[in-house]
Structure 1
Amino acid sequence: MIEVFKTNVQEVEQSILIVGKLLEHFPSSAINFDLEDCDKILRIHGASISHNKIIELLDSYGFHCEVLL
């Protein structure tokens, strides 16, 4: 399953922090950002992905995150 999210993450350093924190919760997932995209895309490829957990985690670090449909 691949899920795609729109975020407001701007900096590479921020994306590295977020990926590390997400991997703590979803250790077997492949996670990356596309900061060149206008929607600052977050992609997560994994077996079981919780949209709410991902959105809550980014929110706890002060970032906006929503499922991209």
Structure 2
Amino acid sequence: MTVLVFKTSVSKNKQVKRLKPLLTQLVEPIGRWNFDLEDCDNILRVETRQCPSSVVRLLEEQGYVCEEL
């Protein structure tokens, strides 16, 4: 399991709720994810076996900026 950290353009809880089923499906069955919207970079942390590009692609397909840190 790897912890990945991303800078995103997700800035509202409403946006997180929209992404929840997609992110959960991506990291299942044992991965976890969370956003830190208090951080100036709107950090997304993901524990997963997926490669970073999978997470970036998922967010970009939904119209968000996502960059691995």
Query: Scaled by the length of structure 2, what TM-score is found?
Result: 0.88
How many residue pairs get matched? 67
| Contact kept in structure 2, 1:2 and 1:45, CA below 8 Å | yes
Identity fraction in percent: 36
Aligned-residue offset at 1:19: 2.8
Q: What residue in structure 1 maps to residue 5 of structure 2?
A: 4
Distance in 2 separating the partners of 1:2 and 1:19: 18
Q: What residue in structure 2 maps to residue 67 of structure 1?
A: 68
RMSD: 1.1
| Contact kept in structure 2, 1:7 and 1:63, CA below 8 Å | yes
Deviations 1:1-35 (A, max 9, x none): 21100000011011122232011122121110000
Q: What residue in structure 2 maps to residue 30 of structure 1?
A: 32
| Contact kept in structure 2, 1:19 and 1:31, CA below 8 Å | no
Distance in 2 separating the partners of 1:19 and 1:2: 18
Q: What residue in structure 1 maps to residue 14 of structure 2?
A: 13
Runs of 5+ unmatched residues, structure 1: none
In the TM superposition, structure 1's runs of 4+ consecutive aligned residues that sit over 6 Å from their partners are none
